[in-house]
């Protein structure tokens, strides 16, 4: 079983955050939410490992509290 990596793992995280914000710039709330949903599904498909995806869902759910 592959473990979910929760350690920092993005090259130039600030640069990526800027790109993410730029992708949302000028979008309505609904369009921004749709972009997020498409991005999530694309990245989930890329990961492909259901065990890792379950771990990610659990980690995200814990973060809400």
The model's confidence at residue 46, banded by pLDDT at 50, 70 and 90, is very high
Give the domain ranges of the chain. 28-65
Tens-digit pLDDT profile for residues 6-45: 999 999 999 999 999 999 999 999 999 999 999 999 999 9
| Cα separation, 8 vs 25, whole angstroms | 25
Cβ-based neighbours of 2, under 8 Å, separated by 6 or more: 49, 51, 52
CA 42 to chain centre: 9
Please give the pLDDT value at position 65: 55
């Amino acid at each position: 079983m592959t473990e979910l990596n929760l350690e920092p793992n993005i090259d130039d995280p600030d640069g990526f955050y800027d790109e993410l914000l730029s992708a949302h710039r000028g979008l309505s709330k609904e369009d921004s939410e749709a972009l997020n949903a498409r991005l999530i599904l694309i990245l989930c498909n890329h990961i492909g490992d259901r065990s890792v995806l379950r771990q990610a869902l659990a980690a995200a759910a814990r973060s809400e509290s």
